[in-house]
Amino acid sequence: MKIGVIPNEPPTLGLRTKFLLSLVLTTTSLSCATLLVVRHTAKKHLQQEIATDAGNSALTLQLLLHQREALLSRKASLLATLASVTLDDDPTLQNSADDPLAAEGNDLVILADGSNKITALHTNNPSFKIADAQQLVLHSAGRTGADWCYAGGSLYQVVVQQVENHSAETGDKRETVIVGREIGYSVVHDLGRVSAGEVAFSYQGNIAASTLTPLNEYDLGAKMRAAPQLGDVQIGGEEFYGLSLPLMKGASPPARIVVLKSYKAAAAFLSEINRLLIGLGGLALLVAMWLAFIISETFTRPLAKLDKGVQALEKGDFDFPLDARGDDEVARVTRAFDHMRGTLQKNELQKRKLEEELRQSQKMDALGRLAGGVAHDFNNLLTVIKGHSDLMIERLQPADPLLGSSQQIRSAADRAASLTRQMLAFSRRQALEPTVFDMNVLVTDMCKLLKRLIHEDVEFSFRADESLGKVKADTGQIEQVVLNLAVNACDAMPQGGKLTIETKNVFVDEEYARTRPTVPCGNYAVLSVTDTGHGMDAETQARMFEPFFTTKENGKGTGLGLATVYGVVKQSEGFIWVESAPGRGSRFEVYLPQARQTTAEPVRGEKTKTTLTRASETVLLAEDEDAVRELACEFLSAAGYRVFAAENGEKALKIAETLSQPIHLLVTDVVMPRMRGTELARKLKSLQPDMKVIYMSGYLGEEGSEEFLKDSEYLQKPFSRDSLLHRAGVVLNEGSSMAGAVPELHIA
């Protein structure tokens, strides 16, 4: 059993798993975010420290270069003084230029006269030529102070001094003294050691000297030309922070000093920090997983248990164990679900029972329709067989050998008609003649018959409720119900037992109706038949009202007994309830609604023995079956009636319209093609209001007798000649004395 149909869906994560994952992911995300912030802060701090260190180193180098500039200025002033003293003595000037320079270790000394002609040159660089000195003098003409120049493949820090010479022979004469220091390999590396980094000097965007390798110098020069201010740069595959400062403000062409601080140490420090942070992150993750597991065990495990209970309920398992301990929200929901599960289980059992009863009812209705259809055609055949057998028996002499065969034919037709009546009772299509009666009187009258039918080893008793309410039903059918239930009970006790028939008043309220789901609320007179026989199992009870179903041996039962009981009870607007179990006997309860009418109604069409005279009325007969029509026409004609026969309603209507004489009686089949017998009767009644009507049918169909005209008669097929003529005489002589009306007909 399943509560509902659940479509196939892809598997999803459980709430507990989602909670664990969400908590772990949240903790991991927060930890990673925190660690990334710490790492970013540390990296930024290191970058700021490196930038500050580069700035400090650049200032230190600038200070050292400024000190070198001061030394060069003093040297230039000394040479200028010597030059002014020995200006007219060129050799003496040359000597004065060479000796001091050599003593001081200067890399470059240039003396030029007023016409900018080189008069003395001292250099330690063989590549420094006179032309380079001449270009430097021209560049420095009229200028005094520090400067930078690039010549002979080297960068020089120089100081220029102008010498004023006032002589009587030569007049005012201005000469130039230039003293310089080469920025070479040793100087750059000394500065690199001072700055604890890489140092480079550039001139016009080209690297003049550095502590770098030639390839790295080329790479640095390219980056300097692209962005002189540098910043974070990558040189030779290594990360540096570069700070580029001009050596002189406003100097042209520009000369710059570059300080490079490597990130290698910082990267190593960051790697160490990363390893530490990863360790802390892993520890935080483990702690988070442990906390998540503890929390899930405390909060989500009961939810997971409840979820499994819901899934088990979807599959029809009502016994899955639930954990409802505690007084928290989950425990309360679990207890509520357990209560709801119990209610659903009870409802499901009741639903299955009602569905089984509905299927049984639908099955009975389908079989009833089949039985009614078979009975309709079968009764037409039986009418012909029974009618002609009666005619043969009437016309044959007692000594005729065919008389016995004719009587056997009539007897077989009677048994077939009885079987058909059972089928119609089962299908609830049999014509009823309900009366209000006391069921105690009916059962009491049947007790003599029942005692003859019941085995001697069966103890029979009848318990009557003295205040039993009256019911309205067909007494003949109720007798058949009592008889079938009693016979069925005796057959269930082959070794003897007790058979009890009981009547009582029952008021079915809502509480009582829960024990009898098929019985609605109301006042009922209940007839119960109880036996102590072998009982029935569930499978037998599910099929006991099916027609032709029997547990008896072949040839010992038709299987229509209980089916007939079911049909009669339902047709009488009643209900039947059965309680039985193997080895514990059976109890059949028939619930019939109590009637409001307190006086008994006479049975319509009751047969009375009267002396009848020969008839002479006009009868219109409408019947679609040729054999039945011919037989009925013969019966009526033999009794003296003037008969006009038609094979359907339309032709019967045409005959009535063409007749000049009144029609005293219409005998019509109910079910006919083109026009039903009820419709034909209404139309003819409007033409001839005094006309009487007799309806014939093998079964009433769905409409029952609701379409019949008032004061009409109904004749159930198969009918005999006596029953047809008796009904005709009753209808035509209704309201007057029956004595001397028509002659009594005797059938041998």
Q: Is it the case that residue 436 has pLDDT exceeding 80?
A: yes
What is the per-residue pLDDT for 268?
76
Encoded tokens for 456? 């001697």
Backbone angles phi, psi at 667, to 5 degrees: -110, 110
The HSE-up count of residue 246 (CA atoms within 13 Å, CB side) is 9
Residue by residue, DSSP assigns 154-207 as EEEEEEEEEEEEEETTTEEEEEEEEEEEEE-HHHHHHHHHHHTSEEEEEETTEE
In this predicted model, what pLDDT tens digit does every residue of 690-707 receive, in sequence order? 899 999 887 665 445 567
The DSSP element (H or E) to which 138 belongs, if any, is helix 130-139
Least confident of 9-23, 306-320, 487-501, 597-611: 597-611
In this predicted model, what pLDDT tens digit does every residue of 376-404 receive, in sequence order? 677 778 888 888 888 888 788 888 888 88
* DSSP code, position 297: I
What is the per-residue pLDDT for 597?
58
Pair type for strands 255-262 and 435-437 = unpaired
Q: Is it the case that residue 278 has pLDDT exceeding 70?
A: yes
Check: CB of residue 166 under 8 Å from CB of residue 140.
no
Q: Give the other-Cβ count within 10 Å of 396's Cβ.
A: 17
Check: CB of residue 677 under 8 Å from CB of residue 624.
no
In this predicted model, what pLDDT tens digit does every residue of 129-166 receive, in sequence order? 787 777 777 777 767 777 787 777 778 878 887 777 65
pLDDT band at 28 (very low <50, low <70, confident <90, very high): confident
In this predicted model, what pLDDT tens digit does every residue of 652-695 receive, in sequence order? 999 988 988 899 999 999 888 888 888 999 999 988 888 999 99
pLDDT band at 744 (very low <50, low <70, confident <90, very high): very low
Mean pLDDT computed over 732-744 = 45
What is the per-residue pLDDT for 645?
92
HEC string of 671-725 equals CCCCCCHHHHHHHHHHHCCCCEEEEEECCCCCCCCCCCCCCCEEEECCCCHHHHH
Encoded tokens for 147? 């400067």
Q: What is the pTM of this model?
A: 0.42
Mean pLDDT computed over 96-102 = 46
Q: Is it the case that residue 590 has pLDDT exceeding 90?
A: yes
Q: Is it the case that residue 191 has pLDDT exceeding 70?
A: yes
**% the chain with pLDDT above 90:** 9
